Amino acid sequence: MGTRSGSVDPGILTYLMRESSLTGEQLDELLNKKSGLLGISGISGDMRQIVSAMKEGNTRAKLAFEIFVHRLTAGIASMAAALNGLDALVFTAGIGENSPEVRAAVCSQLTFLSLVLDSAKNTEAHSDQDIAAPESKVRVLVVRAQEDWAIARECWKLQSRPIAASSNEKFETD
């Protein structure tokens, strides 16, 4: 997460309230606006800035990057175990589409799945591309998210619906 905490042991919350005299509002601010990549790195919640600082030798940026990669890899491995393997690993959205460093670090930890990344393709990856090496048993895809089209499609569906005859009618979604 860029600025949010992700999963937190609930005991930490009561500890912070008790020992640091944090109010609920202060705790909310800390967990939602001052944690995640920003909280660990002390720099930013933007992965581009984290990678840049890490390359300059910033140890907190390196720690933020490593924790991010560890959590992402653990999540992917957990899903792969539940699915009994993977056919494809898809990187999308901001970090997935734009960070070859994150993709390389994650894939290097998933080789047990017979996943092999093509380093050259990863470095110069464009959206909607397979960046796996030919010998990889798992395809590694970079896919453009196109969130704007998904939002527009849902808005179109909403505006195309007939207006409810009375306020007692339920609004149904797909």
Question: Virtual CA dihedral for 141, 146, 147, 153, nearest 10 degrees?
Answer: -130
3-state secondary structure 107-149: HHCCHHHCCCECHHHHHCCCCCEECECCCCCCEEEEECCCHHH
The answer for residues whose C-beta is within 8 angstroms of residue 135's C-beta and 6 or more apart is: 116
Question: Could you tell me the pLDDT band of residue 149, with boundaries at 50, 70 and 90?
Answer: confident
Question: Whole-model pTM?
Answer: 0.79
- Domain map (residue ranges) of the chain: 86-174
Fold type of domain 86-174: Nucleotidyltransferase; domain 5 (3.30.420)
CB neighbours of residue 140 within 10 Å: 26
Cα separation, 172 vs 174, in Å, equals 7
pLDDT digits (tens, 9 = 90+) for 34-58: 999 999 999 999 999 999 999 999 9
